[in-house]
Amino acid sequence: MEDSATIRIGNDNYDLSIITGTEDESGIDVRSFRKQSGLITFDDGYGNTGSCESKVTFIDGDKGILRYRGYPIEELAEKSTFLESAYLVIYGELPSHDQLQAFRHRVSAAGVLPESVASVIEAFPQDAHPMAVLSAGIHALGTCHPDKISNDRVKDLAVFDESAAIIISAIRKIAARHHRFRMGLAPVKSNPEKTYCENFLSMMFSKTDNGEAVPPAVSKALDLIFLLHADHEQNCSTSTGRMIASGGANPFASLAGAVCALWGPLHGGANMAVIKMLDEIHESGDDGSRFILAAKEGKTRLMGFGHRVYRNYDPRAKILKGACDSALEALGVSSPILDIARHLEEVALQDEYFIKRKLYPNVDFYSGIILQALGFPTDMFTVLFAIGRAPGWLAHWKEIAESGGKIHRPRQIYQGATERVYLPLEER
């Protein structure tokens, strides 16, 4: 490929270099274009703009490829765990046995949620949205560790390992504490002897501090959901977190902002929409056939199909499909909406309407069914997404801090009023 590109405007030529990634992704480097031409480039929603160079995650949406630090998501889902993959995403390499043990210990050691954070959680109304509480809880958590929020990149990087472990450990405790508060239940203490997901499930649903045993398939299903959500390139919440970090903000502030970006229904709330759709289909007495027809006629929207990046079957959806069966079997429950989901998938994968539009199941299609079966309230689904995504957000904070890059500052094309004269109130 050529290593340069030329943009012609009238009789003027502007030579720009081309940046080529390790997976042959290429982009025109327009950083000097405004200085040369006096013009900016316009890309509504940044869909065609590379905002950074990153080493964390690679996606090829046309081929259905997702890799963390070069490792295929299929291999990690089969052989790894959430905490091991979290280490990989954050630090760039799979850990040795000793490194993994040390990482697990750091996460377990951050076992007690500070009472001041608990007070913030319980200061919210009981019906407050869990994502609002989660964001505030992470902010409050940072204030409990003043030595880790200097807002000096060098200083914050020096204590990053501890900050990352505190956040990864506490984010599930904030979620569990708020859930039990709004259910009128006493909090359950963290147990460092349990695995990350066993501990979280106990803090959520146990009747006592001793905690009931969690079926391995159930814990594995939640661990898998977290692993599959650990990072996903420059999405809305990650790019928001990176932008906050670019201003020199600490990891706690950057992640609290990323949580707010994830909250929206077009991003982290998509699996809630899937459950709502499946429940409505079930309540109507339909097996999905009438709904498919209505979707093809443009009368309704088929949630959980299609993805802004993937133009193929989302590899994470394939993995969760099998985990869904195992989790429900381990729980000893049946799910009528799972039968509807399978029927929708079967029809959509064979129907020319959906094939032509490349509307394949995405990760939200099955994750919501698993989370519902595990007993999580629907409005907590996005919180679960955030817990899984925390390692990715931390990895991108680290990447920004280590690069020492400049603050992100997008440009705009102003379309408002031109200069006007101020009129006194009595003349208007």
- The residue annotated as part of the active site, out of 178, 232, 307, 396, is 307
In this structure, are 158 and 198 located in the same domain?
Answer: yes
Based on the residue annotation, tell me whether 364 is a catalytic residue of this protein: yes
Residue 312 pLDDT level (bands cut at 50, 70, 90) = confident
pLDDT of 108-148, one tens digit each? 988 689 999 999 999 999 999 999 999 999 999 999 999 99
Residues 203, 236 within the same domain: yes
Mind listing the pLDDT tens digit for each residue in 140-168? 999 999 999 987 899 999 999 999 999 99
167 in the same domain as 316: no
| pLDDT, tens digit (0-9, with 9 covering 90-100), for 322-356 | 888 778 888 887 778 878 888 888 888 888 888 88
Q: Please tell me the predicted confidence (pLDDT) of residue 402.
A: 95
Do 362 and 393 share a structural domain?
A: no
* Residue ranges making up the domain that contains 27: 1-42
Q: Are residues 290 and 251 in the same domain?
A: no
Same domain, 383 and 349: no
Q: Confirm whether 214 is domain-assigned.
A: yes
**Which CATH number do you get for residue 26?**
2.20.28
Q: Is the pLDDT reported for residue 1 higher than 60?
A: no
The domain spanning residue 367 has which CATH number?
Answer: 1.10.230.10
If one counts the domains in the chain, the total is 3
362 is a domain residue: yes
The answer as to whether 292 is a domain residue is: yes
Q: Within a domain: residue 227? A: yes
Q: How many CB atoms within 10 Å of residue 84?
A: 18
Q: How many residues does the chain have?
A: 428
Q: Is residue 279 part of a domain?
A: yes
358 with 387, same domain: the answer is: no
Predicted structure pTM score: 0.92
Name the residue among 135, 164, 134 with its Cα closest to residue 148: 164
pLDDT value of position 346? 85
CA–CA distance, 185 with 361 (Å, rounded to integer): 37
Answer whether residue 152 is part of any domain. yes
In terms of pLDDT, which residue wins out, 204 or 343? Answer: 204
Pull the structure tokens for residue 243. 């932008």
256-308, pLDDT tens digit by residue?
999 999 998 888 888 888 888 999 999 999 988 899 899 888 898 888 887 77
> Do 384 and 282 have their domain in common?
no
Taking residues 251-260, report their average pLDDT.
98
Do residues 181 and 301 both lie within one domain?
A: no
Residue % of the chain over a pLDDT of 70: 99
- Identify the pLDDT of residue 2: 65
CA pair distance 14, 385, nearest whole angstrom: 44
Of the pLDDT bands very low, low, confident and very high (cuts 50, 70, 90), residue 367 is confident
User: Is residue 210's pLDDT more than 80?
Assistant: no
> Is 307 a residue of the active site?
yes
pLDDT of 221-246, one tens digit each? 999 999 999 999 999 999 999 999 99
Q: Is 353 exposed, middle or buried (0-12, 13-18, 19+ CB in 10 A)?
A: middle
What is the predicted pLDDT for the residue at 13?
94
In a domain, 118, yes or no: yes
* Same domain flag for 98 and 193: yes
What is the b/e burial string over 30-66, where b = at least 16 CB atoms within 10 angstroms of the residue's CB? beebeeeeeeeeeeeeeeeebeeebebbbbbbeebbb
Query: Is residue 389 domain-shared with residue 247, that is, in the same domain?
Result: yes
pLDDT digits (tens, 9 = 90+) for 94-110: 999 999 999 999 999 88
Phi, psi of 125 (to 5 degrees): -60, 150
Per DSSP, the chain holds a count of helices (H) and strands (E) of 19, 6
Q: Select from 210, 211, 192 the least CA-distant residue to 201.
A: 211
Within a domain: 414: no
